[in-house]
Structures are given as C-alpha cells and as structure tokens.
Chains A and B, each alone.
Chain A
C-alpha cells in the first residue's frame, strides 16, 4: 500500500465545488480593489504624517494680535512706556493687585512734558469697579481687533471735562484711557490706544525694605515711579483681595510734583484709592497702612518713631521715624490699626540700594516679609 496512492484515494469522491472560476476572479478583483484603496489611504496618511503633523506641531494654537504675556507675579509691570508723536505714555507708576497706572504727557518743549491724561491697565481676570465705566458709551471703532468705546464722564467737583476711551486686548486685559480736561483729542486717544502693547512682565521694585509687617497685612499696591519717595499700601488679608487704583483723577503736575489727595478714601469701600500723592500725604485705605519712605532728612525725627494724629485726614494717625540721617519713614493708618503696629512698621523700614539705579532695589516681593505677598 503506497502512500501516494492512498492520498490520491483519499481526495477522490470530492463534493461538487461551491466556487467557480468566475467566483475566484471576482474574489481576486475585490481583493485588488481593497488593496488599491488601502494603498491610497496609506499614501494619504504618509503625506499627512510628513507634511501635516510637523505643521500642526510647529503651529501656535491661535496667533493673537497681541501676544499674551507669560505668567507674572501679582505686582509685575505689564506694559511699557512708548511715544506717539508729541505724546508720551510712561511706564506704570502705580501697580496694584487689580490695575496699574501710567501718565500721559505732551511734550511742550524739548524734554518738558505737560500732563494730559492717564492710562489704567486691568490685567485679564481683574474686575474693574470704577464707576466711570458706567457712563454713556459711544463706539470708537476697532482697536487691535477689538471694539473700543468712548465714555462720557459727568463733570463734578473733582473731575473736570474728561474723555475716556476703553478697549480690550487680545489677552483679555482691558485698558481705560483718560484725557484730562479733554487735552487729548479723540483722534489722539485712538492713536495712542492703537500703539499700546502688553509687554513681558517685569517685577516692580521698591527703593526700600521693611523687615516686619503685621502678619494679617497683605501688600496690595506700590508706587514705583519715584526713587526719592516711594510708597507701599498694605491691607488686611481677605478672600479675593484686590486694590483698584483710581484711574481718572489727575495730579496737578506731571512727573515731579503731585497734588494732595482731595478725598480721604478710608471710609470708602476698600479697592478705591487716590494713589498719586506724596508718601507723607497718601490716604490710608480702610483697615490698612500706607508706608512712605523718602530720601531726605526731616528735622526733629530720629530712629524712635513719633506717633500722633494726622489732622489732614479724617480719623487717621501716623508714626514718623528716621532710620538714618538721609531718610525718613511714615506709617499711616486709621484708628482701626493698633498704634503699636504702626510704630513697629515705621521702625522696620529703611532705604535700600542706589537711589538712581533701580536694578539695585529689591523687588516688591523681596521688599516686604513673605507673609505680606499675595500670590496670583
């Protein structure tokens, strides 16, 4: 019995075939069609992988008109000064947790500027509480891709004829520009607004340092414009702490001479103040402390603080000290702040760094105890 014969025998008696030659050819055609389709899809995927994926990876998510600044500290300066014709916008002078202010000047003679307005910048997420935004609005066209509006300010004892222009930036920040006594035309306001740019954050610096602060107090605003006289505002810690600097009121002169505050802000809800005052005359926010440090000796002062009522403001007192022969410190608050705390703050402050070299000054975060810093 040969195996080959057995195998031949085993495959005999086959049932009728289910498939014909046509079935085989049809199956072949289907397979060929599927294979060609597969190759086409594979080629498309390969093209996509070679061209599309690198572009997708390299492409930024959404190209903004104004690049959003990197994550910043809570008191970083978020825009820079610039010029437009005879107009100049300064660097931020006052910086708070809620907004930051810069002055606008017109060059009346080479190097001499006259105050004509102010810019208030509200970073994305800041909630402007100023009542001026509630005034009648007029469309001002489109600025940097976003709708802008003029706002009419009602004249009162404190505010003369003032025009406001407000717009938003691509990163969600908002700007309010004020033209005092309409010394800026609407066209000039739009021109300045169009030139405005958010810039990379840089830390606010102070020419002094304070080694002690009541542990409940938080740094909410700093005056960073004047090396010879700087100010810091601290208020009691609370949820959602903020401090909005008043954007509309004008100081009497530009750059080096400033008016007294016309209104004591202490009785008002926290969050509004009149920042542009000399350190010794700044209003004390309710429950908080104004700390001013000046380069210059005041006769009659010494290292031991002298505390007394401050009669120029309602229900306020202050402690004055001279940490050395070249500076003096004022710590002012309402009577809701213990005088012992004012004394200790006045004793703890001293000037730091080279007066005309801001790079030698500590940052606002470094200038006060860590407990006073608000993280955002």
Chain B
C-alpha cells in the first residue's frame, strides 16, 4: 500500500461518518446519502494528492452528490426502504427520538438546495462565500436560500428557532 493510499484511508476513516451525516441531512435518506458519499470519495481517491483541502473538497462533493441524488429521474433512482416505510412521528417515551423524527420531517420540507445551504452554514460552520464556493453558486443565492430555508423551518418548528450566535459571528468575520 502506498503512502498516498494510506493517507486516503486514514482520511476516509476519520471523515466518513461526518460526511454521511452531512449527505443525509442534505438528501434525507441514509442509503442515498451513503451512495453519494461513496461516489464523492471515489472521485477524491482519483485526485488524492492533488487536492489542496481534501476536507473541503469532500464536503462540497458530498453535498453536491446528495443534491444530485435527489434530482435523479425516477427510473434511475434506487427505491430505498425509507420510501417504502416512511418514518411516522409517534409518541415515544424517549423525548430525543421524538424530537429527531420531528426535526427530520421538518427538514425534509425544506427544498433540497435550501437545506444544503442550512447544513453547510449552521452545521459545518461555513461562511457565505465558502458555502457559495462549495455549492458553486453566487453568494447572493446562498443568502437567499438561507433566509428562505430558515423561514420554512421557523414556520414548521415555531418562532423559537434561533441560529447559533457563535457560528453567525464567525460568518460575519469571514
């Protein structure tokens, strides 16, 4: 095994879970998210050693791949079990599970691109320019999507939703 491949394996080992979660939040399906991660990391393997910031590249590639997965025409899309057995919110003694299901359903109501912007900005902590670069779209689009995505979430989750001041402050500094 070459040094490069060893580095790549180490990178995948440490980043795959985070990337899987990122993809899931973007596309709303674990299996689709895994496929997106696999495809994105396979592309990164080919370019490994030539990519300046592998983490940023992987994040951007995974989010775009997850968005693309949701755009596939139905005849090219694998039908996941999640589609066949949709998660239905049900009372549960464990409050966290209830919250998670509720939140996931709320997120799924946000358009996929808006959702990707929210995930990159408020989960990954990217600035507007960084998010724009990752999604290859204008900064104005990122701002608009952020605003609309937050509006949608607030409408579903209630006015109590706030954004992370620390993250916001970091964004402002960039």
Tell me the minimal C-beta distance from B60 to chain A in angstroms.
Answer: 17
Whether the pair A11, B161 counts as a contact (CB closer than 8 A) is no
Q: How far is the CA of A2 from the CA of B20 in the complex (A)?
A: 22
Whether the pair B118, A7 counts as a contact (CB closer than 8 A) is yes
Tell me the minimal C-beta distance from A17 to chain B in angstroms.
Answer: 6
Residues of A within 8 A of B22 (CB): 11
The proximity string for A residues 204-218 relative to B, scoring 1 for CB distances below 8 Å and 0 otherwise, is 000000000000000
Q: How far is the CA of A24 from the CA of B43 in the complex (A)?
A: 10
Question: Is A63 an interface position by the 8 A CB rule?
Answer: no
Whether the pair A3, B118 counts as a contact (CB closer than 8 A) is yes
Q: How far is the CA of A35 from the CA of B47 in the complex (A)?
A: 11
Question: Is A256 an interface position by the 8 A CB rule?
Answer: no
Tell me the minimal C-beta distance from B104 to chain A in angstroms.
Answer: 5
The proximity string for B residues 92-129 relative to A, scoring 1 for CB distances below 8 Å and 0 otherwise, is 00001101100110010000000000110011010000
Q: How far is the CA of A296 from the CA of B122 in the complex (A)?
A: 115
Residues of A within 8 A of B9 (CB): 21, 25
Given contacts A11-B21, A24-B41, 11 further A-B contacts (CB under 8 A): A1-B157, A3-B118, A4-B123, A5-B164, A9-B96, A17-B17, A24-B45, A27-B39, A28-B41, A28-B43, A32-B45
Q: How far is the CA of A21 from the CA of B20 in the complex (A)?
A: 13
Residues of B within 8 A of A29 (CB): 45
Across the A-B interface, give the 3 residue pairs with the lowest CB-CB distance, nearest first: A28-B45, A11-B21, A27-B42
Residues of A within 8 A of B41 (CB): 24, 27-28
Tell me the minimal C-beta distance from B58 to chain A in angstroms.
Answer: 11
Whether the pair A10, B107 counts as a contact (CB closer than 8 A) is yes
Whether the pair B46, A31 counts as a contact (CB closer than 8 A) is yes
Q: How large is the interface on A (under 10, 10 to 19, 20 to 34, 35 or more residues)?
A: 20 to 34
Identify whether the interface residues of A are mostly helix, strand, loop, or mixed.
Answer: helix
Nearest opposing residue in chain B for A32, CB measure = B46
Whether the pair B97, A13 counts as a contact (CB closer than 8 A) is yes
Nearest opposing residue in chain A for B8, CB measure = A25
Residues of A within 8 A of B5 (CB): 25
Whether the pair B31, A31 counts as a contact (CB closer than 8 A) is no
Q: Which of A4, A14, A24, A31 contacts B122 (CB 8 A)?
A: A4
Whether the pair A4, B104 counts as a contact (CB closer than 8 A) is no
Q: List 25 A-B contacts (CB under 8 A).
A: A3-B122, A3-B150, A4-B164, A4-B167, A5-B164, A6-B103, A6-B161, A7-B25, A7-B122, A10-B104, A11-B21, A11-B22, A14-B20, A19-B37, A21-B13, A24-B16, A24-B42, A25-B5, A27-B42, A28-B43, A28-B46, A31-B46, A32-B45, A32-B46, A35-B46
Tell me the minimal C-beta distance from B57 to chain A in angstroms.
Answer: 14
Question: Is B163 an interface position by the 8 A CB rule?
Answer: yes
Whether the pair B160, A28 counts as a contact (CB closer than 8 A) is no
The proximity string for A residues 261-290 relative to B, scoring 1 for CB distances below 8 Å and 0 otherwise, is 000000000000000000000000000000
Residues of B within 8 A of A31 (CB): 42-43, 45-46
Residues of A within 8 A of B45 (CB): 24-25, 27-29, 31-32
Residues of B within 8 A of A6 (CB): 103, 157, 161
Nearest opposing residue in chain B for A23, CB measure = B38
